[in-house]
Chains A and B, each alone.
Chain A
Amino acid sequence: AQSVTQLDSQVPVFEEAPVELRCNYSSSVSVYLFWYVQYPNQGLQLLLKYLSGSTLVKGINGFEAEFNKSQTSFHLRKPSVHISDTAEYFCAVIPARGSYIPTFGRGTSLIVHP
């Protein structure tokens, strides 16, 4: 079984400041890792994913994340946020073998202030 912990339920930040959204996971098997973004009244949009290879992955909208196997973390970062980045962000893991059933974190609400 897998579990995902998003350490902050809410992250307020000023526009143009850097931001980090934290995600830790636990799993008895190898997993793939994902970040999704959900804007109000919309579905989830894939931001980026880690399947294998380089531990630093770049996604859309200037976001990037680093996979740290020893710390079982997959933190999301952006060097300079915009008002339009205000949304809910979800970290997710999927087992690399067997059933592709995802486990999601509870989400982090990123609030960007002008």
Chain B
Amino acid sequence: KAGVTQTPRYLIKTRGQQVTLSCSPISGHRSVSWYQQTPGQGLQFLFEYFSETQRNKGNFPGRFSGRQFSNSRSEMNVSTLELGDSALYLCASSLTGDTIYFGEGSWLTVV
């Protein structure tokens, strides 16, 4: 059974640009959540989608957004990139909500 797949794995963007990251959950999982990991702040919850609806949202500015498609695949978008957005962005999926499985992450560097 394939795990959570994230693309791209590495990317470099310039301040002010926007970026879209993609996530394919484990087959059958309908919940997809996103996290930002930085050395300074650790792992922080961004948002969670279930059946194409945002079910939970973390404490991030509106520049961070996401969506989920009918096949449960999800994307997250960050607009007007800032240097502080440089991070590892992790996607996770869940079948029952009580256990989440992570992908390999997308490394975003903003220059």
Contacts and interface: CB of A to CB of B under 8 A. Distances in A.
A90 B35 CA distance: 14
Interface residues of A, number: 22
B: contact size bracket: 20 to 34
Given A34-B99, A46-B99, A90-B43, A100 B104 contact: no
Interface string A29-72: 00010101000011111100101000000000000000000000
B100 interface: yes
A contacts with B: majority SS: loop
Interface string B1-43: 0001010000000000000000000000001000000000011
Contacts, number: 49
B102 interface: yes
Contacts of A107: 42-43
Given A106-B42, A107-B42, A100 B94 contact: yes
Interface of B: 4, 6, 31, 42-43, 45, 48, 55-56, 58, 90, 92, 94, 97-105, 107
